[in-house]
Amino acid sequence: METICKLKDVMDVLNEKGYFCLGHGTGRSNDSKEVVKSIFENGLRTKDNSLYYTSIGLDTGDFDNLETKLNNWKHCESKKIILIRIPIEFINVIGDTADLNGERYGAFMIEKAENGKIRNYVDSKFIVGCYDSVTHEFECNDKFERVLRKETLETLRKQYKEALEKTKARLQRIEMTNNMIENQSIKDEVNPIYDKSLLDNFDYDDEIEWDMPSTGPKL
């Protein structure tokens, strides 16, 4: 595949069975060539460590519809659109819908330390290239792996397993919280909550007059 080609030339790659494609507009970075080059080299940095907040899924089945969408990208009116292709089998479909902490798409991420924080980047191996809606040309990413290497597959399996563990841990925390709430509700029914202020304001003076009827003879 040529470094610079047309969108039609990569349609077979985008529609290859077993893969899902997403798009990311670079308008926030003024569609600079430097940003595209950096993404090709280092991967795509995700917003809030979530691919969900960084890109949108694409229907690549119809060329005309895809081209129209790319030519009219809504986010920041971007003119350069990064196209990502990921193998469906490594998407954690039971993971958090919003990809919390990379839970759903964690298998495709690279973790990098930045300013004392961990940032998730989409591995450049899954970035097909960049479409330019002005020139209508497609720039291919040299690091993209159409056929995944053995080392890449091993990493995918490892990180997919880790993503599943994140989901399991989160669901266990939710279950534990729900059980605590349920147990507290039962406890409150058995031992109703009383107003402690009633005890605080109670007069324990031994000389208090209780207005009890006298048992002695009337004088």
pLDDT at residue 180, as a whole number: 82
Q: How many CB atoms lie within 10 A of CB 13?
A: 18
Asked if 47 contacts 54 with a C-beta cutoff of 8 angstroms, the reply is yes
Dump pLDDT digits (tens) for 48-64: 999 999 999 999 999 99
Asked if 131 contacts 79 with a C-beta cutoff of 8 angstroms, the reply is no
Concatenate the DSSP letters of all residues of 119-188 into one string.
EEEE-GGGEEEEEETTTTEEEEPTT--SS--HHHHHHHHHHHHHHHHHHHHHHHHHHHHHHHHHHHHHHH
Residue 203 forms part of a structural domain: no
- 2 versus 103: the higher-pLDDT residue is 103
Residue 211 forms part of a structural domain: no
- 109 versus 179: the higher-pLDDT residue is 109
Q: Domain total for the chain?
A: 1
Asked if 28 contacts 20 with a C-beta cutoff of 8 angstroms, the reply is no
- 218 versus 84: the higher-pLDDT residue is 84
pLDDT at residue 217, as a whole number: 43
Contacts of 105 (CB under 8 A, 6+ apart): 50, 51, 52, 86, 91, 92, 95, 99, 122, 163
Dump pLDDT digits (tens) for 78-129: 999 999 999 999 999 998 889 888 899 999 999 999 989 999 999 999 999 9
What are 114's strand-pairing partners? Answer: 117
Find tokens 């902490």 and name the residue: 101
CA distance 58 to 172: 33
Dump pLDDT digits (tens) for 121-151: 999 999 999 999 999 999 999 999 999 999 9
CA distance 47 to 54: 5
Q: How many CB atoms lie within 10 A of CB 159?
A: 21
Which pair of structure tokens corresponds to residue 10?
A: 């990569």
Residue 187 forms part of a structural domain: no
pLDDT at residue 101, as a whole number: 84
Q: Rounded to two decimals, what is the model's pTM? A: 0.80
Nearest CA-CA partner of 128 in 170, 85, 174, 162? 85
Residue 138 forms part of a structural domain: yes
| Phi, psi torsion values for 106, nearest 5 degrees | -60, -25
> Which of the four pLDDT bands, split at 50, 70 and 90, describes residue 216?
very low
At 204 the three-state DSSP class reads: coil
Domain span at residue 132 reads 4-172
Structural element, H or E, at residue 114? strand 109-114
Half-sphere exposure of 47 (CA within 13 A, CB side): 10
Dump pLDDT digits (tens) for 3-39: 999 999 999 999 999 999 999 999 988 989 999 999 9
Residue 212 forms part of a structural domain: no
